[in-house]
Amino acid sequence: MKTWIKNPLAILAQQAENGLVIEDDKIIELVARGNQPSMAVDAVIDAREHVVIPGLVSTHHHYYQTLTRAFNDSLDKELFDWLTTLYKVWQNLTPENLHVASKTAMAELLLSGCTTSADHHYVFPRGLENAIDIQVEAAREIGIRSVLTRGSMNLSQKDGGLPPDSVVQDEDVILADCERLIHKYHDDSDGAMIQIALAPCSPFSVSKSIMEHTAILAKKHNVRMHTHLSETEDENQFCLKMFGCRPLDYLEQVGWLNDKTWLAHAIHYTDEELVRLGRAGVGMGHCPSSNMILSSGMFRGVAAERAGCKVSIAVDGSASNDHSNMMLELRQAFLLQRLQYSSALSHNDILRWGTKGGAAALGRTDIGELAVGKQADIAMFKLDEIQFMGADNPLAALIICGATRADKVMVKGKLLIDNGQLIYLDLAKHAQEHKRAQASMRAK
């Protein structure tokens, strides 16, 4: 089955002014100005009113947090206080609630044009030992391409960490589950829909030993590693006190300073540290909304990219963003980076970070671009809402005028959003389920 996405209003690809042709799950041809597809097609999608871009790639999230958005007790707090308030609610997370919350986040991502998302799930209270299995099931139901990272916490308050005992697990249990999940779900083939990565939560919630053993396990199975690092000044102080060094030195000591690692936030680095990170080819997930809401600091995107880091954008968890709209997050990244870098940063850089940069951070070469041989992960936006009236450059308009919802989204060549609606999820019914899940978690 060949489909021509025909004559787009604008497209984020070279030599594709007349669109592109997909066959099954892949892009097979770019159609340059004045040209027609070189072979007969079976279907045509008229894209005259659409801005066509590669599906966006979000590299860091916590899906379960859709259950604690704008949470009263955590408002107006910085990271450590915010976390200690929320752990008390998150310890009540159940398999049913995680399933519903994950679907909510994935659906919201898809509606915003995001086709690949990495989630970082690190809360494993008793009864939720199979959290990642539940997320795999939800991802298959929604159809979004997923990197599910097996998070962990094993350093509770009694050992000098931040989380309470109720949400941590023993190291042996964590490592055994990591290995089980890799064997069961990790797919390293071209076009993979589900991948597993290993993701101890943060320096202040895991032991040094689990960081070291995770690196060994990741190398053994050739999977990627992910963690929060250098998010706040408080974390710098914690590392100096607990480990006698700054977070980056700690990362190097535990065997993580390499191109298999991508970091969430990555804010508080010196110039010299950025050079070391760039030389190692580390990926970074910039989470601008979260960083602003929690007053964590400003990620230095242009400097990180110049140093050689793979820069990407991520929505971060829904208790610190509190939306899961990847296109809105690109706008936030644009504004925050523009404030620092002026004309050294354009909307094109942000679109690159949100697509190709995300793919690179996740170690993927099959997504993130509209090019022959890549996966047919495509987002199409109409500029017919009021905020676009008078817009000149359609690609810039997506970012600067503030696009929020895609008109059509396909993953692996399959249309999942049409006319701005989810084809395979009854959102009204799902909203009721989400409401029940939220109420049950708060009631405990």
CB of 120 to Zn ion, least distance (A): 6
CB of 61 to Zn ion, least distance (A): 8
What are the structure tokens assigned to 254, written together?
């535990």
Nearest to 229 by CA among 259, 269, 189, 193: 269
Segment 268-287, which members bind Zn ion (CB under 5 A)?
Answer: none
Closer to Zn ion by Cβ: residue 136 or 264: 264
Q: In angstroms, what is the minimal distance from the CB of 66 to Zn ion?
A: 14
Q: For Zn ion, which is the closer residue by CB, 264 or 267?
A: 264
State the nearest-atom distance from the C-beta of 374 to Zn ion, in Å.
Answer: 28
How many residues make contact with Zn ion (CB under 5 A)? 2
> Which residue lies nearer to Zn ion by CB, 18 or 318?
318
3-state secondary structure of 392: coil
CB 281: neighbour CB atoms within 10 A? 15
CB of 303 to Zn ion, least distance (A): 22
Whether 204 and 243 have beta carbons less than 8 Å apart is answered as no
Q: Quote the least distance from Cβ 232 to Zn ion, whole Å.
A: 12
Residue closer to Zn ion (CB basis): 135 or 375? 135
Q: By C-beta, is 264 or 397 nearer to Zn ion? A: 264
Q: What is the CA radius of gyration of the chain?
A: 21
What stretch of H or E contains 261? Answer: strand 261-265
- The smaller minimum CB distance to Zn ion, of residues 316 and 349, is found at 316
Tokens 């939800």 -> residue: 138
The answer to whether the beta carbons of residues 5 and 16 sit under 8 Å apart is no
CA distance 251 to 265: 14
> Rounded distance, CA 420 to CA 414, Å?
15
Closer residue to Zn ion, CB minimum distance, 198 or 397: 198
**362 burial class (0-12, 13-18, 19+ CB within 10 angstroms)?**
buried
Contacts of Zn ion in 229-268 (CB under 5 A): 264
Which 154-183 positions form the footprint of Zn ion (CB under 5 A)?
A: none
Token pair of 440 as six digits? 């049950």
Q: How far is the CB of 60 from Zn ion (least distance, A)?
A: 6
Distances in whole angstroms, Cα of residue 241 to Cα of each of 112, 238, 346: 41, 5, 40
Residues 11-30 that bind Zn ion (CB under 5 A): none
Q: Tell me how far, at minimum, the Cβ of 197 lies from Zn ion, in Å.
A: 14
Stretch that binds Zn ion, among 27-35, 310-318, 357-365, 431-439 (CB under 5 A): 310-318
Complex with Zn ion: residue 264 or 345, whichever CB lies closer? 264
Token duo for residue 422 = 């989810």
Q: Under a CB-based contact definition with an 8 Å cutoff, are residues 38 and 387 in contact? A: no
Nearer to Zn ion, 316 or 322 (CB): 316
- The SS3 call for residue 380 is strand
DSSP state of 180: H
Cis peptide before 24 (omega within 30 of 0): no
Site string for Zn ion, 207-226 (x = CB under 5 A): --------------------
Helix (H, G, I), strand (E, B) or coil at 234: helix
**Tokens of residue 132, six digits:** 């990642």
Which of the ranges 43-51, 176-184, 218-226, 309-317 carries the binding residues for Zn ion, by CB under 5 A?
309-317
Range 91-150, binding Zn ion (CB under 5 A):
none
Write down the least CB distance from residue 264 to Zn ion, Å: 5
Strand-pair partners of 414: 411
Q: One-letter amino acid identity for 95?
A: P
DSSP per position, 98-132: HHHHHHHHHHHHHHTTEEEEEEEE----TT-TTHH
Closest CB to Zn ion among residues 4, 64: 64
Give least dist CB 201 to Zn ion, A: 8
Site for Zn ion in 314-373 (CB under 5 A): 316
Q: Which residues of this chain interact with Zn ion, rule CB under 5 A? A: 264, 316
